[in-house]
Amino acid sequence: MPVFSSLSEKLNHIFSKLTKHGKLTELEIKQAMREVRIALLEADVNIGVAKQFIATVSEKAVGQDILKSLSPAQQVIKIVNEELTSLMGSKNSKLEISPNPPTIIMMCGLQGAGKTTLCGKLALLLKKQGKKPLLVACDIYRPAAISQLKVVGEKVGAEVFEMGTKSPIKIADEAVKHAKAFGFDTVIIDTAGRLHIDEQLMQELADIKNKVKPTEILLTVDSMTGQDAVNVADSFNKKLEVTGVVLTKLDGDTRGGACLSIKAVTGKPVKFSSVGEKMSDLEPFYPDRMASRILGMGDVLSLIEKAQDAVSEDQMKKLEKKFKENSFTLNDYLDQFEALKKMGGLSDIMGMIPGMNKMKIKEGDIDESRIEKIKAIILSMTMKERRDPAIINSGRKKRIASGSGTMVKDINQL
């Protein structure tokens, strides 16, 4: 599901009505802004943030230069895009790196926001950047929290430091000493969460902060909770002075309120967004790209980055050569599906392509199970058959269909 599909659809409907007019009057712009305000509030954007946003856009949009321009509707959309970007922080906020290693990142948040999994995702992202992260188990209260962190650490190939149920302040302090002694340049501390904010939780977090002096205090918030996520972020920030926010579950049926309100309410930037369940599904947060996606303009830069991550330049050159020589085989076809999977699947990719939102692709229109069926068919072939499908006669087709749980007509279609 594309990010903020409901909000995106409403905004596009509003702007499509504007673009039908050659010229715009001040009244038409104000009417459109009223509709935009309703769309933002329905997306659970903070009411104060929505009012200020509309006031700023309206002031710029009804200027004489806009109203007299050749394409006033496009100018209005441009202003909305700029203000959405500004609302979310204008530019990507990178992680602070300590001049004296290790860089200490303290992760905090309420239970259920996906904090422990996020520690693993962040460790993997940092490993790809050449860092050596150490995961630290400071959640000693939640049953199996330490075991969960160990499983996560194993998945991403990161060491986990734990001392059982000793004091979290002591564990954090010893972990930093361990990191210095064994050459870890980054320490990621998984702290305890609660179902709600309470004094005991905040005091423990404050004590850990005072003991290890973290470079970054990142707050994990569940974007699906909308305005509640903003209130949680505001409360944590007042107690701990967080340095940034990480939004989880941004791929779910989220209305966008948290993403669009957090920076304006707390003054703290969103640094990362988690867009799926896989360990690789963590992205640096770019306000300009997110604004483009919300307005249905796509996100080509993120698409290029995903492609570069999934397919190396060397692989691309080999593929190009195969196409030129007409030697592309079913094995190469299989490799393409694996690369597509790494990029997040067809639904995610299509959401990043400009103009795809206007095609009205509904949930279920993209049947990703067909890809799995094709992969099963190819994997049921011999290497010789994959290299030269022309040799596949009716007998071979029956064998392949039987091995892949498909029908002969599926083999013919492939």
**Full-model pTM:** 0.70
Residue 184 CA: distances (Å) to CA of 176, 244, 341: 9, 22, 31
Most confident listed range (67-76, 222-231, 278-287):
278-287
Domain(s) of CATH 1.10.260.30: residues in the chain? 367-414
Beta-bridge partner residues of 159: 134
Mean pLDDT (the chain) is 83
Phi, psi of 235 (to 5 degrees): -65, -45
Q: What is the pLDDT of residues 341-382, one digit of tens each?
A: 666 666 666 665 655 555 545 545 556 677 788 888 888 888
Given pLDDT bands bounded at 50, 70 and 90, which one contains residue 252?
Answer: low
103-297 placed in CATH 3.40.30.10: no
Mean pLDDT of 35-52: 89
pLDDT on residue 347: 62
Q: How many CA atoms lie within 13 A of 144 on its CB side?
A: 3
pLDDT at 297 over 80: no
pLDDT at 51 over 60: yes
Beta-bridge partner residues of 373: none
pLDDT on residue 1: 45
Q: How many CA atoms lie within 13 A of 268 on its CB side?
A: 29
Residue that wins the pLDDT comparison between 143 and 148: 148
Domain(s) of CATH 3.40.50.300: residues in the chain? 103-297
Mean pLDDT of 310-323: 71
By the 8 A CB rule, do 330 and 116 touch? no
Q: What is the DSSP letter of 311?
A: S
Mean pLDDT of 185-189: 96
Domain(s) of CATH 1.20.120.140: residues in the chain? 5-87
Q: What is the pLDDT of residues 74-89, one digit of tens each?
A: 778 888 888 989 989 8
pLDDT on residue 69: 61
Mean pLDDT of 94-111: 92
Residue that wins the pLDDT comparison between 237 and 325: 237
Q: What is the pLDDT of residues 151-179, one digit of tens each?
A: 999 999 999 999 998 999 999 999 999 99
Q: Is 257 exposed, middle or buried (0-12, 13-18, 19+ CB in 10 A)?
A: buried
Q: What CATH number does domain 367-414 carry, 1.10.260.30, 3.20.20.60, 1.20.140.10, 3.90.380.10?
A: 1.10.260.30
pLDDT at 32 over 80: yes
Question: Domain 5-87 is classified in which CATH homologous superfamily?
Answer: SRP54, nucleotide-binding domain (1.20.120.140)
Q: Which two tokens stand for residue 382?
A: 């011999």
Give every CB contact of residue 114 below 8 A, 6+ residues apart in sequence.
220, 222, 248, 249, 274
Given pLDDT bands bounded at 50, 70 and 90, which one contains residue 271?
Answer: very high
Mean pLDDT of 385-404: 88
pLDDT on residue 151: 95
